Structure 1
Amino acid sequence: MGVYSTNIISPKGNSGMTSISTHNDDTTVEFPDIGFDFFYNGINCRTTINSSGNSWIGFTGSSEQLKINRRDAGADNIYYAKETVNDKPTFRIRWEGHQSYSTWGTLNLVWELILFNDNAMVLVIEKIPNTGTNSFENPALGTTALTLEGNKSYAFIPQQDQGKSYTVQEGSYIQTDIKYLIVDGTDIKHWDTTSSNYVKVSELPLTSDKFKIYGDDIYHKERTGIIAASPILKIWSPSAELPTPRITQVIKPKPVIVNMKDDILFSEAYIKDIMNSVVTVDNTGSGIIVFIVSIDSGISWKAWNGSSWTLVDITNMQDVKSKGMSASVFQGITEAQWATLGVSNKKMKFAWYMEVAASTDVLKLKQIRVNYNTN
C-alpha cells in the first residue's frame, strides 16, 4: 500500500497513449485488460472498466460509478495507457471533450484517471466547467459528492480490502515499497510472524540493504520483544517522492470500575423508602456502563437480575460487567423491588463498570439521583 500526499500532480497529456474512442457523444466504450487486478467493491475490474462521451467511469461495466461533470457531454478523444510508476504498474485514462455534445473541438472538460494495482486511484482535473454532476459511488459508504476544480488532483484511497470505503482528498497518491524496522538500543529488530514477537536481525548502523532484506511491510504496534524504554521506528523507501511519514497513535482507555467513596445516607426520620432511581449518561458509540449497589458500605455488592437481587464480586471485573445493571434496568427497579434489597439501615453506595470499544466512543456518567418516599 502506498501513501497519501498533499502534492497536486499535473496531467501527463495524451502523448504515447492509445485512442479508444473519438467524437463520442453517448457511446459506452470498454477498455482492454488493464494488465493487473484492480478491485472495486470486491469485484475484479481488470477487464470491465467502461467510459462514455458523457464523462463517467464504470468500474464494473456500464454502471456510472465515477461522474466527472456528468451530463449530455461529448468526448473528442478517449485514450488509455499502461504505464509504470515507481516500478509499479498503473493504468491511465485520459478524457478530452466538452460540456455539451454540440460544441466539438472546444475542450473545456479534460481529465485523467490513474489506477494503481492496490485499488487506489488519482483523478487529475485539467479543465472542468462544473455544469454537471460530480460524484463517486463509494463502496460501503454510498454516494459521495465530489467538489472538483481545474488544475487539481484527487486521491481515492481504499480503507478496506478489495476496493471499499474510499477516502477522497485533494492531493495525490504515491505507491512505493515502504519498509519498517525497529531500533532497540543498538539492535535492529523486525516483526517475526511465527513467534508474534520483535526479534533481532542485525545491529546498527542501518543501511538500505538491511531494510530490503529484513524490513516489515506493515508496522506492528505491539511492543513484545522490545527492551528499550524508547525504541525508534525507522521507515525507508526507495522513492524520493515519499512525503514525511506521520504516525498517529490512538489510545483507548482500559475498562474501569468506579466505586463511590462515601455512602448516600437516608438517616432523616421522614424518609420512608426508595421510590426509584434516575441515571443521566452520555453514551455515543459502543460504550458499556453497568451499575451495582451496596447497603453495607461496600462489604458486599448486589444487582437486580429481573426477579431478585444477586451478589456481585466487585473484585472480579468480568463478574461486574456480566451481572451489573444497565441504565434502563437500574432505572426500572420499582419501589417494591427496592424494598426487597433491605435498606433499613438507610445507607447506600453505588459502583459502576465503564468500557469503551473505540477511541471515538463517548461515555460519561453525569448523575445518579435516588428518589424516595416520605412519611
Structure 2
Amino acid sequence: MGVYSSTIIAPKGSSGMTLISSHNDDTTVSFSDIGFDFYYNGVNCRTTVKTNGNSWVGFTGATEQLKINRRDAGADNIYYCQETVNGKSTFRIRWEGHGVYNAWGTLDLVWELILFNDSAMVLVIEQIPNTGTNSFVNPTSGTTTLTLENNKSYAFIPSQEQGKAYTVQEGSYIQPNIKYLMVDGNDIKHWDALSSSYVKVSELPLTADKFQSYSDDNYHKERTGLISTSPILKIWSPLTEMPAPVVTQTIKPKPVIVSMKEDILFTEAYIIDIINAVISLDNTGSGIIVFIVSTDSGTSWKAWNGSSWILVDIENMHDVKIKGMSTADLQGITEAQWTSLGLLDKKIRFAWYMEVSSSTDILKLKELRINYNVI
C-alpha cells in the first residue's frame, strides 16, 4: 500500500486521453479493461468499471457505487487513459459535463477519478454545483455521504485487503516505488519466479546498491527457499516517512489421517451386530472428512463403495481421500452391509482423513457413535 498525503492535487485535463463518450445523457459507458487487477469489496473489477451520463461510477458493473453530484445530468465528454505513476499502473477517468439536464456546453460539473492497482482511489473535483447526491458505497461500512468542493481532491484508501473499509478524506494518495528483499540468516534473498522460491543473491550487509540490483517489486508471503525460522523482510522506499508495513501470514494445516489407537469392542453376548454409525461434526466451509474401518486392529483397512467393502491403503493419503467414506455414506450403511464386513471378532476401529482448503474453514469431528442390535 501507498500512503495518504494531505496535499490537494489538481486535475490533469484531457490531453492525451481517449474520448469514449460525448453528448451522453443517460447512457452507461463500459471500460473494457483498465489494465490491472483492481479489487472493490473483494471483487476483481478489471473489466467491470462503468460510468454514466448522470455522473456516477460503478466498480462491479452498472451499480451506482460512487455518486458525484448524481442527478439527471449530462456528460459532454468522458475520457479515459492508462498511466504510470512512480512505476505503478493507474487508470484515470475524466468526466466533463453539467449538473442540469440539457445544459450542453455549460461545464459546471468536471471531475477525474484515479484508480490505483492496490484498490486505492483519488477523486479530483475541478467543478461541482452540488445540486445532486454525493455518496460512496463503502464496503463493510455502508453508504457514506460525501462533502465535495471545487478544486479539491479526496483520497479513498482501503483499510482491509481487496478494497474494503475505505477511509475517505480530503487530500491525495502516493503509491511510492517500494522494493523488497528478504534476509535469511546471513543471506540476502529475492523471489525467483522460475523456481517459485526465494534464492540467495548476496550476503549481509544490505546496501542501497543491492536493493537496486536484486529487489522485488512485490513481496511474496510464501516461505519456500527460506531456512531461518525468523526471516526478515526488508523494504526500501524513496519516501522519507512511511507507515510501518504489516505483513499477515495465513496458515492452514496440512491434510491429516487420524487413527483410533484402540478397537471398539462389542463382545457382550447380548450384542448381535451393528445397526448403524452416527457422526456429529462441525463442518463450515469446504472441509473434507472421509472414513475407513478396520476389523483386525489396524492391520488392514476398508471402505464401503456402495456395493462392497474394498481395501484402502492407510499409508497412502491420496488413496484414503479418494476411497474413504463420506459422512453420508458411512451413516447410510445398513445392518446387512455392516454384517458383510466380517465382524466375527466383534471389534472395529475407525480412521479418518481431514483436509481444509481455507483458513476460514471449520472442521471438527465431535462424536462417532455405533448403534448395536441387541437380543
Q: TM-score range by the shorter chain?
A: 0.7 to 0.9
Q: 1:297-347: CA deviations, max 9, x gaps?
A: 222221111111122222222222122111111011011101111223222
Cα distance, 1:373–1:81 mapped onto 2, change above 3 Å: closer
* Residue 253 (structure 1) shift: 0.3
- Give 5+ residue unaligned stretches, structure 2: 39-44, 149-153
Cα distance, 1:282–1:74 mapped onto 2, change above 3 Å: same
Q: 1:238-267: CA deviations, max 9, x gaps?
A: 234643211111111011111123322223
Q: 1:145-185: CA deviations, max 9, x gaps?
A: 743433763247998xxxxx754622575433222112233
Cα distance, 1:316–1:39 mapped onto 2, change above 3 Å: closer
Distance in 1 separating the partners of 2:334 and 2:360 = 35
* Contact 2:94–2:113 (8 Å) recurs in 1: yes
Distance in 2 separating the partners of 1:322 and 1:131 = 57
- Give 5+ residue unaligned stretches, structure 1: 139-143, 160-164
* Residue 231 (structure 1) shift: 2.3
**Partner secondary structure for residue 147 of structure 1:** strand
* Residue 8 (structure 1) shift: 7.3
Q: 1:189-236: CA deviations, max 9, x gaps?
A: 223334444333233222223212110123234444444443221111
Distance in 2 separating the partners of 1:346 and 1:132 = 74
Cα distance, 1:360–1:63 mapped onto 2, change above 3 Å: closer
Return the letter of the residue paired with 2:348. Answer: M
What corresponds to 1:170 in structure 2?
167
Q: Which of 149, 153, 156 is matched with 1:154 structurally? A: 156
* Contact 1:9–1:153 (8 Å) recurs in 2: no
Structure 1, 193-202 or 36-45: larger mean CA deviation: 36-45
* Residue 113 (structure 1) shift: 1.6
Distance in 1 separating the partners of 2:254 and 2:102 = 64
* Residue 37 (structure 1) shift: 4.6
Return the letter of the residue paired with 2:155. Answer: S
**1:231 and 2:231 are equivalent in the alignment:** yes
Distance in 1 separating the partners of 2:289 and 2:30 = 55
* Residue 71 (structure 1) shift: 4.6
Q: Percent identity?
A: 52
* Contact 2:181–2:190 (8 Å) recurs in 1: yes
Structure 1, 85-94 or 271-280: larger mean CA deviation: 85-94
**Partner secondary structure for residue 328 of structure 2:** helix
Cα distance, 1:310–1:58 mapped onto 2, change above 3 Å: closer
> Normalising to structure 1: TM-score of the pair?
0.72
Equivalences for residues 143-222 of structure 1 within 5 A: 146-150=143-147, 153-155=155-157, 167=164, 169-171=166-168, 174-222=174-222
Cα distance, 1:365–1:299 mapped onto 2, change above 3 Å: same
Count residues with an aligned counterpart. 346
* Residue 186 (structure 1) shift: 2.9
What corresponds to 1:68 in structure 2?
67
Cα distance, 1:280–1:125 mapped onto 2, change above 3 Å: farther
Distance in 2 separating the partners of 1:323 and 1:10 = 63
Distance in 2 separating the partners of 1:102 and 1:10 = 35
Cα distance, 1:44–1:29 mapped onto 2, change above 3 Å: closer
Equivalences for residues 255-266 of structure 1 within 5 A: 255-266=255-266
Equivalences for residues 76-155 of structure 1 within 5 A: 85-86=85-86, 91=92, 93=94, 112-116=112-116, 118=117, 120=119, 122-124=121-123, 131=133, 134=136, 146-150=143-147, 153-155=155-157
* Contact 2:80–2:93 (8 Å) recurs in 1: yes
* Residue 120 (structure 1) shift: 4.5
* Contact 1:289–1:353 (8 Å) recurs in 2: yes
CA RMSD in angstroms, aligned pairs only: 4.6
* Contact 2:69–2:131 (8 Å) recurs in 1: no
